[in-house]
């Protein structure tokens, strides 16, 4: 069990670092006062050592800070974006055929930024982008597949029974059996049904293939949430920078 503020932790307490409570505030843990309470409550470790002394300085580039066992990740050069991809935009940064890509939305403002996952050409909604390689690897790794929420407009009137069966039993696709985590009918008319679906799979065009397999082709598909990050009111073709609190919640979701 880690002991409070050992010699190893003191060795890193230098004037070149940043005060621990300031680092926690920048990482989205609340006000400086709130972060001081977190330290005094014995919830913070630096390089595996419990630190309870206010004013401790750390170097976030060289040292590992954890709160309640979860790593605090903050790098001033890292940025993570939530982008609303419209239809007819490729989930890539470049296209030799000259079609619209994500670069046409984010431009060249951010160096080495790339997308975490894709949406097919005709689908819309939330795509996350980052220049944080470690975060990207975890978000896209099958081991940490995060839940994704979609609103789908289907051809025809699907029944609640079919929705429940897609959750309880699933459906056989060409690349294996798959189930939805959640399926709810939001609205329906004579010719269409609006459904909300949640699933963890990152397979290509998986929502379209699931409903196509049971006879209800998808007319429109919008991704509204990835893990804890929601599309919200981001307009199509626009994006916003995630707060440190949001990045922290996403990092925790994928085991960082």
Which residues are the active-site residues? 120
The secondary element (H helix, E strand) that includes residue 194 is strand 192-199
Q: What tokens were used for 164?
A: 């429940």
Q: Are 88 and 47 in contact (CB under 8 A)?
A: no
For residue 201, what are the contacts with CB-CB under 8 A and spacing of at least 6?
145, 178
Question: Which residues lie below 8 Å from residue 59, measured CB to CB, with a gap of 6+?
Answer: 12, 14, 16, 17, 18
Of 84, 17, 89, 80, nearest in space to 47 by CA: 17
Angle at 190 between CA 188 and CA 196, to 5 degrees: 20
Rounded Cα gap, residues 149 and 140, in angstroms: 16
Question: Using an 8 Å Cβ cutoff, are 51 and 42 in contact?
Answer: no
Dihedral sign (CA 194, 120, 176, 136):
negative
Backbone angles phi, psi at 236, to 5 degrees: -55, 135
Measured between alpha carbons, how far is 111 from 40 in angstroms, rounded to an integer?
38
């Amino acid at each position: 069990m880690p002991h409070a503020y050992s010699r190893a932790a003191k060795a890193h307490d230098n004037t070149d670092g940043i005060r621990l409570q300031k680092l926690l505030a920048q990482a989205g843990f609340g006000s400086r006062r709130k972060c001081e309470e977190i330290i005094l409550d014995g919830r913070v470790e630096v390089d595996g050592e419990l630190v309870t002394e206010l004013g401790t300085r750390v170097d976030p580039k060289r040292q590992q800070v954890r709160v309640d066992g979860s790593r605090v990740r903050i790098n001033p050069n890292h940025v993570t974006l939530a982008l609303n991809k419209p239809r007819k935009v490729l989930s890539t940064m470049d296209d030799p055929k000259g079609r619209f890509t994500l670069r046409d939305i984010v431009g060249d403002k951010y160096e080495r930024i790339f997308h975490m996952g894709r949406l097919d050409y005709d689908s819309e909604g939330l795509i996350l982008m980052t220049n944080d390689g470690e975060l990207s690897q975890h978000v896209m790794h099958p081991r940490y597949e995060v839940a994704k929420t979609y609103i789908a407009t289907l051809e025809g009137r699907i029944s609640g029974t079919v929705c429940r069966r897609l959750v309880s039993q699933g459906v056989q696709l060409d690349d294996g059996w798959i189930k939805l985590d959640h399926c709810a009918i939001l609205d329906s008319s004579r010719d269409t049904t609006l459904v909300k679906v949640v699933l963890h799979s990152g397979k290509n065009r998986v929502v379209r293939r699931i409903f196509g397999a049971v006879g209800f082709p998808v007319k429109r598909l919008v991704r509204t949430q990835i893990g804890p990050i929601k599309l919200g009111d981001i307009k199509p073709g626009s994006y916003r920078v995630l707060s440190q609190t949001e990045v922290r919640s996403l990092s925790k979701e994928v085991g960082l």
